[in-house]
Amino acid sequence: MRESEASAYVRTLAALLGAPVAFAAVLFETAIHDVIHLVWDEVPDALGWSEPAWWYVVLVPALAGVLVAAAIRLPGHGGHVPLVRSTAFPDVLSAASSMRSNATALMS
Q: What is the mean pLDDT of the chain?
A: 82
Per the CB < 8 A criterion, the answer to whether 48 and 41 are in contact is no
Residue 42 CA to residue 35 CA, distance in Å, equals: 10
- Per-residue pLDDT tens over the stretch 48-88: 999 999 999 999 999 999 998 887 777 665 556 655 556 66
Domain positions in the chain are 3-80
Asked whether residue 93 carries a pLDDT value surpassing 60, the answer given is yes
What is the distance, to the nearest Å, from the Cα of residue 68 to the centroid of all Cα atoms in its chain?
A: 15
Can you give the pTM of this predicted structure? Answer: 0.57
**Mean pLDDT, rounded, for 14-33:** 94
% of the chain beyond a pLDDT of 70: 73
